[in-house]
Copies of this chain bind each other. A is one copy, B any other.
Amino acid sequence: MTRARHTDVRETIGEDHPTCRLRDILDRVGDKWSVLVMNLLGSGPKRYSELQRAIEGISQRMLTLTLRSLERDGLVERTVTPTSPPRVDYALTPVGQTLSAQVSGLITWAEQHREHVAASRLRYDAS
């Protein structure tokens, strides 16, 4: 065993080894819209236009890019119903749901602590 047994995150944390596992996932969570999209899909499948309206501020370009990227990672499933006009639905995959659960925890945290954070910022900025 050459070190790094079990889930030894702390020491391989930011290295850009070919196998750097963290960056990949963190970038996914880190980008501007993925978390928002996943959270929305957490309450059930949505059409493209529903997402677009719900998120409000996202460009068509970024919504598509985000969805494609989530699909590529196997987190979201895209279903096309070739009617006219076409209808496209997006839903979390089972794996996507497990990530969505984590994300949900994050959002809950944000809700619960935003007052504290805001206050802390004011204090900090006053000095």
Contacts and interface: CB of A to CB of B under 8 A. Distances in A.
Interface in A4-18: 7, 9-11, 13-16
Interface string A3-47: 000010111011110000110111001111101100110010000
A58 B119 CA distance: 29
A105 B110 CA distance: 15
Interface residues of A, number: 55
A64 interface: no
Majority secondary structure of chain A interface residues (helix, strand, loop or mixed): helix
A99 B75 CA distance: 24
Given A14-B56, A29-B106, A99 B72 contact: no
